[in-house]
Amino acid sequence: MTEIYMDHAATTPVRPEVVEVMLPYFGTEFGNASSVYGWGRRAHQALDQARDTVAELLGAASNEIIFTSGGSEGANLAIKGVAWAYQTKGKHIITSAIEHHAVLDTALWLKKHGFEVTILPVDEEGFVSPAEVEKALRPDTILVSIMHANNEVGTIQPIAEIGAIVRKHGAFFHTDAVQTAGVLDLNVEELNVDLLSLSAHKFYGPKGVGTLYVRKGVRLDPLIHGGAQERRRRAGTENVAGIVGLAKAFELAREERVAENARLTKLRDRLIEGLQTIPSSKVNGSLSQRLPNNVNVCFQYIEGESMLLNLDLRGIAASSGSACTSGSLDPSHVLLAMGLTHEIAHGSLRLTLGRDNTESDVDFVLQEIPVIVERLRKMSPLYQG
Ligand SMILES: *Cc1c(COP(=O)(O)O)cnc(C)c1O
């Protein structure tokens, strides 16, 4: 059976070119980057070079780049790091209802430790309003964290606009750019951000490695203590192979992004148009400000989980709600925040396209889904079709 992977928002395969540049660091170049002899120096050089590459791609300076274990650690370090470092200045943090759990749960954890958290609502397309951010800012607000693009519905936020407002008020601004790294132009100056997190495995790099950009002058209390690595902000022997892979994957993605985005947008719109012809279906998220690879649809009278199992039987890998909530019966917090009812949100399906997907994959999916929807609806007591 052919297998079609359409869950690139969850993770992506590592590109062969990326594997190739990583391999030496598992073998002959296994040195610890903190060691003074040749092996150590060469590992250190590799780190320096990767750091320069990532910095340049972000429009940042090399000493503003911290390598982390991924998007979750990046968000934790940004939010907890700023919160602990600036708690004497203020204890108020602002975020939004549609953030990834790495941001939301971190903010809620800080709430248990004496911080105040404002969670901004979103509109029906999943947008955070810059005016709402402005209204929520207080003299004691130390940090605002709003994601660049949403991992479930693909809505791209007006980050530069929000950033300008936050800066004017003297708070710091973090964006979770895990879904946009390699896809959109991520220039930290143009985006008006002070902190930005990304993760290699979302752009065809390895799992377990990411980057947190931290603007010069922003203090951070580290989460991990023990060594002088990453300018004392993240202790632990560096994941040299992973970091080299991240830089290569980021570079490739940025070189190819314009052409690849155009190709994906076409496939995405073909999918959306096809799925919209199914009765009682609804496309979620913005149609204009949307990630080029994201399709998110609700089919009324259907459980997303049954949809996924049926798609899997046909060799199609997709997602319902977010990866973290699938397996539980809670509908997506993102769709609920956008005003969908529990019942409708339960019937959501996310298809996220990637480099290997072709037009014939899209056509196969468009042939299978209506059949599955029809079959599942016939079994639903609520459906009178
Ligand atoms: C995947 C993802 C994360 C978490 O990144 P990991 O590297 O898997 O920890 C955070 N935010 C968003 C928007 C994501 O899509």
pLDDT tens digit sequence for 248-269: 999 999 999 999 999 999 999 9
Q: Per-residue pLDDT averaged across 80-98, rounded? A: 98
pLDDT per position as a tens digit, 289-303 = 999 999 999 999 999
| Per-residue pLDDT tens over the stretch 195-239 | 999 999 999 999 999 999 999 999 999 999 999 999 999 999 999
The number of the ligand 1 atom at minimal distance from the alpha carbon of 10 is 1
CATH of domain 4-11+257-378: 3.90.1150.10
In angstroms, what CA-CA distances link 366 with 263, 288, 291, 361, 380? Answer: 18, 22, 20, 9, 22
Residue nearest to atom 3 of ligand 1 (CA): 71
One of 224, 324, 336, 366 is an active-site residue; which one? 324
Handedness of CA 4, 157, 282, 302 (dihedral sign): positive
DSSP code string of 358-370? -HHHHHHHHHHHH
Q: What is the pLDDT of residue 385?
A: 64
Cα 72 to ligand 1 centre (Å)? 6
Q: How many residues does the chain have?
A: 385
Query: Above pLDDT 70, what percent of the chain?
Result: 97
Q: Which helix (H) or strand (E) holds 107?
A: helix 101-112
Report the pLDDT value the prediction gives residue 59, as an integer from 0 to 100. Answer: 98
Domain 16-252 CATH class label: alpha beta
Distance 123 CA to ligand 1 centre (A): 23
- Is residue 323 pLDDT above 50, yes or no? no
Rounded to the nearest integer, the mean pLDDT of the chain is 96
- The reply to whether 324 belongs to the active site is yes
**Distance (Å, rounded) from C-alpha 83 to C-alpha 80?**
5
Q: What is the DSSP string of 190-231?
A: TTT-SEEEEEGGGTTS-TT-EEEEE-TT-----SS-SS-HHH
Is the Cβ–Cβ distance between 323 and 302 less than 8 Å?
Answer: no
Of 201 and 323, the one with more pLDDT = 201
Which residues surround ligand 1 with Cβ inside 6 Å? 70-72, 100, 102, 147, 151, 176, 178-179, 199, 201-202, 210
CB–CB of 134/102 below 8 Å? Answer: no
Cα 81 to Cα 71, 73, 109, 231, 242, distances in angstroms: 15, 11, 13, 14, 23
According to DSSP, residue 181 is labeled: B
What's the CA angle centered on 214, arms 8 and 144, to 5 degrees? 80
The minimum-distance atom of ligand 1 relative to the CA of 200 is 7
Q: What is the pLDDT of residues 330-380, one digit of tens each?
A: 899 999 999 999 999 999 999 999 999 999 999 999 999 999 999 999 988
Closest-CA residue, ligand 1 atom 15, reads 151
Distance between CA atoms of residues 263 and 293, nearest Å:
9
pLDDT at 378: 94
173 CA to centre of ligand 1 in angstroms: 18
Q: What pLDDT is attached to residue 329?
A: 67
Ligand 1 atom with the smallest distance to the CA of 99 is: 13
Domain coordinates in residue numbering, the chain = 4-11+257-378, 16-252
Give the span between the Cα atoms of 312 and 329, in whole angstroms: 19
**Nearest CA, atom 8, ligand 1:** 71
Rounded distance from Cα 372 to ligand 1 centre (Å): 30
Ligand 1 midpoint to CA 199 (Å): 7
Q: Which atom of ligand 1 is nearest to the CA of 201?
A: 7
Taking CA 73 as the corner, what is the angle to CA 30 and CA 182, rounded to the nearest 5 degrees?
Answer: 80
Write the CA distances from 195 to 65, 75, 301, integer angstroms.
10, 9, 42
8 Å CB contact between 246 and 211: yes
What residue owns the CA closest to ligand 1's atom 14? 178
> 324 pLDDT band (50/70/90 cuts)?
very low
Task: Judge whether residue 327 has pLDDT over 60.
Answer: no
Identify how many contiguous H helices and E strands the chain contains and give both numbers.
12, 12
* Under 8 Å between Cβ of 250 and 54: yes
Question: Could you give phi then psi for residue 85, rounded to 5 degrees?
Answer: -70, -30
Do 215 and 195 form a contact (C-beta atoms < 8 A)?
yes
